[in-house]
Structure 1
């Protein structure tokens, strides 16, 4: 099926979709004729940068605007010397061959770039290892030729089940006020993720970035894993161990923009501002203080596609969450733009070069790793995100449902509990394009940053500081805990595709994220995770973490998110009661802040049910108001014997999940 077959409202834009598909297919044909295959095109990292080949070092760089190029380092007293001058070849490519004894593992080096009217130090574009000097704070490339890493994940395969993603940041994952390491993450955090039931880890801030506080989104060195967390081999150890635990690993891939830094990054790399980026103001991102790639250049396509291939093959990543896709898709970057009609997607503001690049990237990713997971961080809802390129789409597996966390925060901030509309909640959480699988999540890492609040912090506020002991009763905390569980349960229950949680949010991590900066005296106090709050049985945080664990394991056991069909049973906006059925599970929510209901009728097909999860369980901080040991039988309606309902006691602010039980025949 083509995209237009899923959505007849796209008929007026059929010619534009056809043009998108034809360009994709013609590009694949051109690539095959010129390069042999898409994979061969994406092999620039094997050609450029520093390599040891046939007993000598070979270094290549693409710098068409440069007039001279030198390799510099301790071997040249960091000065350009004739002995280390690169030779220019066709196409703006520069090359030098060096004796094997000149460089050894661990040595530092850079490029001295000369262009008409200027010169400057640069880190090679394809550097696979960069390190920061603790005194000068400047980065340099590092010769990296250790003993080959010994992988032991040959039998690992991405699970054939919906992704339940644990999003994590290596540096801020430790309890201590410091930058955590890959090895510490592997030792201390991976077991927590495994125990919590998540089957996929999403690692943030992998690619090197000069400013720690950028959360990893201002990338300078696209092929270099951030050295502030450890060595490349230690990152491989982390991934290998995750695979041994049955956890797949994807990374936040930033191809939407690049840091403005010139000595560390790609900006003005060869003296021109448009080598990798668009000319003029189009090359500058108006909101992110960064540079925008020119996806129409073949050299840029090669660079980014090779980057996709590199992380999959060299580090055994299992896919990507592509950052900032909306920014890539449109000339206006989606800034202050409301997408209210189909015209907004096809009004000439879409960047066809970026659309082609993303389609090629997803084609490549799945050729290399057929079970790889590719997720678009995309908020506009452009049609075709999760349809293959040869069917008019862009080829992602999932789109991140960015509107859901925005909806929850808006609801909590702007409405009283009595105003929560269960019909609207169901609609916002279950809507998606007919062809599209989504990753849903209750709150994002952005909402935990300084200036905003997580869901629990917004619900509990200052009461969190004094009333999270299990022995301290507090009505505000009771409300916060109840809604925290209900929001997560209904978000997971309605998610078609997969579910995501940012580390620590599952147990209601307090306060905010604030990376060390001048404004906080370079403190790490809020750039860490306080796991001891979950570990402490005397604190209510543990209740939330245990509930999340039970919820996730139930979803996996029942293959909840693999079933696309959701059947709405009831949405009573007056009573604030919502019920829907999915994968043999009946979800019932009473969002009313004070009204409990006795013998409340929930329409459903005839059968019997048993409670398998209750937010009111005392082990999760509830009040044990429902008998979980009972078997509940449907009753025929008095005025229509063919229709049935469950009669349930529904306490205020509570969610239930019941499982349909097999019914034995009277004949045995």
Structure 2
């Protein structure tokens, strides 16, 4: 038999294996199969058989213990062997409970005498850290050690600061190369994460202006590039973070921040400023994008930076921007897009733990309530944790004052309420609101953060297009 018409074996529950057998392989007929590893050798009795188009599906229960992250071989009664792949088990509650990691140290952490790199990859059989010297391009490889809850770690000396890094993850019989989803700095166009101590991009933060009631907010939505790009804007560094705070008054007309002050604006709401696809950061004016193609959620977008090739520059620019806006009397809201990623198959989430971070329908296919090909599975513990960690990072590191959640109806009520609770522990004047439309995603209706469930999410606002249409007419 050729490799093309072998059967495939998947772990779909903690104790159940599914075989998908092409009808071209022994007419799809299998009598029994065996699971083998250094720890287990067990014959699996077939319990359920389903006929599919071109395939026959077999299901059997394993009596022994299967350790996710270890390698297993499945043999059939003809002697054919295939690797056991991690399947739908990763979308079970049992998997979530077994591998939920509740520490706040994923990514690259700097300590007084070392750097610690950690990545959550419970289904991986091996993880290698790849370092690239920023100037010479010399490559270094380090085997990472598996710890509890599927976390892999590697300690590095402090002289590795400034190096570029990626992970090589062995999972389901193949090696995927991925950027760290917890990266806080990146090279141009998101090719690598960068080991950067955020203290090197320190900016003195001005005290934010006082704000008492959410209903006092006058919010101005702003696209960083659009705000200054017009030839007559009177701004020098057009289309950049720096341009927003440039003095831009001109004889006979008011532009820039002066204009916004005249309007009585209290909050500037930036369209996404986290790292996104669709624009070449090294040639930013060649194409245009609103920013709803998220790549790295904790890295500032480089196409708005004066120097996208310097990972520290964009960090300092965003910090300086927010600090200056606070000094000028404005609070800052950022538009966050945790409901989807740009391209699921190329996302670090999918490469590191395939199938976990995204919702799938009853046929096992990725759901598409967002309309862009994937829905982030916020109800899963580590997906939820990532969103919460990211929100808190933007508050603690960048001092932002609010979050507008794009397509918030994709996210679940529990996640949004935890976010609100944790934000209140820091600063209850930080605004949280989003788009509460009911979208066609597998999340149960009563769990969706939508307008119809608004009573279940106190202190979270909803963009209401009915109000908008009443004021300005239907779109």
Give the TM-score normalised by the residue count of structure 1.
0.46
Call closer, same or farther: CA 1:362–1:282 in 2, change over 3 Å. Answer: farther
Equivalent residue, structure 1, for 2:170: 114
- Report the CA distance between 1:250 and its aligned residue: 0.8
Q: What SS does the corresponding residue of 1:232 show, helix, strand or coil?
A: helix
Equivalent residue, structure 2, for 1:180: 239
1:48 aligns with 2:109: no
1:202 aligns with 2:256: no
Equivalent residue, structure 2, for 1:367: 425
Call closer, same or farther: CA 1:71–1:179 in 2, change over 3 Å. Answer: farther
State how far apart, in whole Å, the 2-side matches of 1:163 and 1:394 are: 19
Equivalent residue, structure 2, for 1:312: 395
Equivalent residue, structure 2, for 1:297: 380
- Report the CA distance between 1:236 and its aligned residue: 1.0
State how far apart, in whole Å, the 2-side matches of 1:149 and 1:443 are: 46
Q: What SS does the corresponding residue of 2:183 show, helix, strand or coil?
A: coil
Equivalent residue, structure 1, for 2:352: 270
Q: What SS does the corresponding residue of 2:181 show, helix, strand or coil?
A: coil
State how far apart, in whole Å, the 2-side matches of 1:179 and 1:92 are: 46
1:166 aligns with 2:220: yes
Is the CA contact 2:369–2:410 (under 8 Å) kept in the aligned structure 1?
A: no
Is the CA contact 1:210–1:219 (under 8 Å) kept in the aligned structure 2?
A: yes
2:338 corresponds, among 255, 267, 272, to: 255
- Report the CA distance between 1:363 and its aligned residue: 1.8
Q: What SS does the corresponding residue of 1:223 show, helix, strand or coil?
A: strand
State how far apart, in whole Å, the 2-side matches of 1:159 and 1:171 are: 31
Is the CA contact 1:119–1:271 (under 8 Å) kept in the aligned structure 2?
A: no
1:60 aligns with 2:60: no
Is the CA contact 2:375–2:410 (under 8 Å) kept in the aligned structure 1?
A: no
Is the CA contact 1:70–1:112 (under 8 Å) kept in the aligned structure 2?
A: yes
State how far apart, in whole Å, the 2-side matches of 1:176 and 1:109 are: 38
Equivalent residue, structure 2, for 1:104: 161
Is the CA contact 1:163–1:199 (under 8 Å) kept in the aligned structure 2?
A: yes
Q: Write the deviation string for residues 424-458 of structure 1: whole angstroms up to 9, x where unpaired.
A: xxxx44xxxxxxxxxxxx489xx7xxxxxxxxxxx
Call closer, same or farther: CA 1:141–1:314 in 2, change over 3 Å. Answer: same
- Report the CA distance between 1:117 and its aligned residue: 2.0
Call closer, same or farther: CA 1:157–1:89 in 2, change over 3 Å. Answer: same
Is the CA contact 2:127–2:170 (under 8 Å) kept in the aligned structure 1?
A: yes
Equivalent residue, structure 2, for 1:326: 409
State how far apart, in whole Å, the 2-side matches of 1:113 and 1:299 are: 18
Call closer, same or farther: CA 1:91–1:127 in 2, change over 3 Å. Answer: same
Call closer, same or farther: CA 1:403–1:122 in 2, change over 3 Å. Answer: same
Looking at secondary structure, tell me which structure has more helix per residue: 1
**Residue ranges of structure 1 left out of the alignment (5+ in a row):** 1-33, 35-40, 329-353, 388-392, 408-427, 430-441, 448-668
- Report the CA distance between 1:243 and its aligned residue: 0.8
Call closer, same or farther: CA 1:443–1:360 in 2, change over 3 Å. Answer: farther
Equivalent residue, structure 2, for 1:193: 260
Is the CA contact 2:359–2:375 (under 8 Å) kept in the aligned structure 1?
A: yes
In the comparison of the two structures, how many residue pairs are matched?
A: 331
Call closer, same or farther: CA 1:214–1:150 in 2, change over 3 Å. Answer: closer
State how far apart, in whole Å, the 2-side matches of 1:60 and 1:308 are: 19
**Residue ranges of structure 2 left out of the alignment (5+ in a row):** 1-96, 232-236, 249-255, 280-287, 306-313, 439-449
Call closer, same or farther: CA 1:150–1:207 in 2, change over 3 Å. Answer: closer
Q: What SS does the corresponding residue of 1:173 show, helix, strand or coil?
A: helix
- Report the CA distance between 1:53 and its aligned residue: 1.0
Call closer, same or farther: CA 1:49–1:195 in 2, change over 3 Å. Answer: same
- Report the CA distance between 1:195 and its aligned residue: 3.0
Q: What SS does the corresponding residue of 1:259 show, helix, strand or coil?
A: coil
Q: Write the deviation string for residues 390-439 of structure 1: whole angstroms up to 9, x where unpaired.
A: xxx2134422122344x3xxxxxxxxxxxxxxxxxxxx44xxxxxxxxxx
Call closer, same or farther: CA 1:305–1:152 in 2, change over 3 Å. Answer: closer
Call closer, same or farther: CA 1:210–1:322 in 2, change over 3 Å. Answer: same
Q: What SS does the corresponding residue of 2:227 show, helix, strand or coil?
A: coil
Give the TM-score normalised by the residue count of structure 2.
0.63
Is the CA contact 1:379–1:402 (under 8 Å) kept in the aligned structure 2?
A: no
